[in-house]
Chains A and B, each alone.
Chain A
């Protein structure tokens, strides 16, 4: 039973501020993904939670205990490293047993828990092999089994799937989710891969430039991004941003008029590619199609709205040709409005 409270954590490397007053609460048993581009500080934050890096200021509280100044071994957590860090001079069994041995668990207990963790990750058949004889995917399983064998209150994972090929990654992602759900461990998972974060996490914290831009469930973050960055980082294709002028609560694009918040005049319209529907009437927002890419499950249309780049997802059966001008129907409630100057989303009136 352990929740994690990160309280105004700051990390400075010399004059560079890698983390600016990060606060985040992870509930007991929750799976939170730290998602962001490289260099956004997500790994630094994870290492501070693990105790591998010292914060400049702020506190880390795990299960009600302030662990800010404790060594990693006293924090009661386990970690899966990006390059697995499976010890090459020990057999798989000894690797998985490592944490238990350090806790001086009795031999029978060690054996029982190693076998349990091994069966959970399907590595029973090579417990007596050395890691050099294993493939990347198998090593990754060993690293996860080693972390689960100690039955940690908190599990930290640093891009554990990034070194696997695409197919294996998909397979491991599914398995990881099932295994962690069963174990009920509080998990923080660092990744730059949005599909991993969306698929695995209960909540996602999107990080950018040493700050958390938004925390929320995958669907919330997808549907209602808090900043321009979140909208552009999440989703494939990313959200479209169209600069428009607002006056008296209406924005005009071509013939179409959309109600917009009265907060400012220079606004950006954030539009998900699949929230626009090809209009049969021809009265919507004009869209000049430049490229049509059939993706199987859908058509990806690249073109421009009011001279600005946009990507729209259309049904696979739609009859659209490159060079054609189509018109789009947009549901005003599914549109995001962003203040051009701050990059933050503006609430609707």
Chain B
């Protein structure tokens, strides 16, 4: 921690930013509060998940786990259906990633490279799909899904999740492709590429990090979504939907274990792609 702080202050001075000490204090206090805001709840959840049954109810809370055990965790994972739900979640999230990239990236490419009539209306429309409350659609969707045979399948869930992830996929890839100069493609055409070859050889490799970020983003949207997954499935639930049902009837330390398992992918995601997210959002990541 101290070395980290030392490093940080070193880089800030090396960039020539010399803040007065009062503002410096304010900055660090603010940072500390923000970090605590995020980390303390996660830490408490972890404490509950690994502290055992007694640890959950102990008051006052100890800062360090007293009796660390994986008992709650392993028991939780052994609950019937958890493993199946985990697999369903992975399938639904995986399909969501495939669909939202396969449909969103071409849309983003078209928005970035071509001017066509109704371009701005289209861009707005893409976002408007998010304005539709899913609750209104719940009943008609369930009925249609039963008719189509999509009800109670991870595939059906992934379709709805794709609808949720697609606007982001299209708009993020749009800015991604806009950041790749058209001249690169033109150069590839002149030097012997077809349009498709130019895309594969020049645009795709340059867009890959951003596409990966988009993919993981879609994955997390699907992983965390609980409402659609709950109404569209009965037996083949995704992990979030399944946990929502069983945890209501479980002891508290099981709930912590379940919650902790749900947090992990999001945290891993943020660590994996924070560099690309900054780039997408236009913040320089030096």
Contact = CB atoms under 8 A, between A and B. Distances in A.
Interface of A: 50-52, 71-73, 77-79, 81-83, 85, 87-89, 98-99, 102-103, 146, 150
**Residue of A52, A82, A83 with most chain B CB atoms under a 10 A cut-off:** A52
Contacts of B194: 71, 73
Interface residues of B, number: 16
Interface in B234-285: none
A269 to B, nearest CB: 45
A81 B187 contact: yes
Interface string B193-234: 110010000100110000000000000000000000000000
A73 B187 contact: no
A98 B185 CA distance: 13
A332 B189 CA distance: 53
B189 A73 contact: yes
A27 B62 CA distance: 87
A52 B192 contact: no
Given A73-B192, A99-B192, A102-B193, A85 B206 contact: no
B186 A81 contact: yes
Nearest to A79: B190
Nearest to B183: A85
Nearest to B180: A88
B64 interface: no
A73 B193 contact: yes
B191 interface: yes
A170 B184 CA distance: 26
A87 B187 CA distance: 9
B187 to A, nearest CB: 4
A73 B190 contact: yes
A87 B189 contact: no
Contacts of B187: 79, 81, 85, 87
7 contacts: A73-B190, A79-B186, A81-B183, A81-B186, A87-B184, A89-B205, A89-B206
Nearest to B184: A85
A85 B188 CA distance: 9
